[in-house]
Amino acid sequence: MEREVRVRFAPSPTGPLHIGGVRTALYNFLLAKKTGGKMILRIEDTDQNRFVPGAEDYIRESLEWCGIELDESPWDGGPYAPYRQSERKPMYMQYAMQLIESGHAYYAFDTAEELDEMRERLKAAKVATPQYNAITRMTMKNSLTLPEDEVKKRLESGDPYVIRLKVPRKEEVRLKDLIRGWVMVHSSAIDDKVLMKSDGMPTYHLANIVDDHLMKITHVIRGEEWLPSAPLHVLLYRYLGWEDTMPEFAHLPLLLKPDGNGKLSKRDGDKLGFPVFPLRWVDPFTSEVSSGYREAGYIPEAFINFLAFLGWNPGTQQEIFSMEELANEFSIERIGKSGTRFDIQKARWFNEQYLRAKPDAELAGYLLKALEEHNISCSPEKAEKIAGLMKERVSFPQEFWREAAYFFVAPTEYSEKVASKKWNSQSVAVFTDFRNELSTLSDFNADTVKDLLVSILERHGMKIGMVMQALRLAVTGAEAGPDLMQIIEVIGREETQNRIDAAISALSQYATA
């Protein structure tokens, strides 16, 4: 009988969640959703020295903003609680002891100075990668080299020690990765990793394997940086007797800098002006502020859609996907092997598409909020109409106010470039008639306003294209924008007349014969 798919996202609370981590969480979530499985979140906080206050809350809030739902977590509980490794501390030692008793692990009593001396000896001997392994372990202070009675005495007297995995010297370790195929590593390239630290806390390697087994994880989808550790994990599963239920592995390609050279970092985002974190983060130690996609105005659905395509593709031309559609189409087999360049312009494009697909009434909410901050009153109906006119011209919600301010505030400055080319005595004559005759319209709307302007232009023997940019300048102060007649309808008759009067007065020096 097939096992229920159970995936996990296992971040460490050592700072803000990088978008690469969000992508890992997303791919896990999509697989769980597609298969009707479970999405588990486990906080891996065994390294207490790197713990950062607020980081766990940040992880939770980030995933909630993204719409990544959890079935089991430290906050919602579940059948395999607790879901923080620090709270699971008592259970790990028994598995380390099992490895010692079966001859697959050993006690090591080496001091930091002795470890440094060993590395220096190896460097002097031109060893490319100095490490504690099947060869060097025999020159160190551990339960493989010390007499049994001395080991017992050291343990009883409370001497500090770590427990290391005893990696075989000559063995080929094979692992089938769902993205990369078969991965083979010779055991001579694997060092004797520490499994239990001297403070009694497990390292990532032991805790990760034990927890994945006990939580019945079926698929481990994680970043490429963990691929070198995967053979070690295979050995642990084997030595603990869990090889038959070992999860399937999928190591995701890196998110690369926009130029493709190296892994995307916070520094790249700072340098190129885009966030690398989902939410704004304030460092509790330095008060340094890092920008977030939420605060930059990205819609979470657009952010997730963009992120899904950084390494995966559906094999079709479709680009816009809801979360449900992503889950239906998702497959690990369609994740690429090579790194993906980060393209912030594509993220912006996704945001634009999602904004434009929203109802005008919802977009009006963004504008009304900004107007309230500027103490400007506006009816929901008017805001909805403005939002509908402006949505093709904005990329982010906060731009509705910036781009549409002229609907509420008359221009006080005018483009010299447009005025010098388009403002002249002929246009002023047309605008004067237009301004006066607006009062004669019994039904004031975009169509009647345009008909009036066309009729006046015909009297003056002019085409509409000869005055439109100058009229836009008079009414809005801008060089471009949505349909001008629609703008005039929203602004209203009296305000339009006042703005034309103000422009004629302010730009008189250009109105030469």
Whole-number Å distance between alpha carbons of 399 and 397: 5
Active-site annotation holds for 266: yes
Amino acid (1-letter code) at residue 111: T
* SS3 of 2-15: CCCCEEEECCCCCC
The CB density around residue 308, as the number of other CB atoms within 10 Å, is 23
Tokens describing residue 467:
């005055």
271 is in an annotated binding site: no
Instruction: Provide φ and ψ at 159, rounded to 5°.
Output: -60, 140
Amino acid (1-letter code) at residue 475: V
Distances (CA, A) of 81 to 41, 74, 267, 315: 11, 8, 37, 39
State the Rg of the chain over Cα. 33
Whole-number Å distance between alpha carbons of 428 and 208: 76
Cβ burial of 369 (10 Å; 0-12, 13-18, 19+) is: middle
CB 301 within 8 A of CB 354: yes
Catalytic residue among 197, 263, 266, 385: 266
Q: List the strands of the sheet with 162-165, edge to edge.
A: 105-108, 162-165, 194-196
Q: Which residues are catalytic?
A: 266
Sequence ranges of the binding site: 266
Sequence ranges of the binding site for ATP: 266
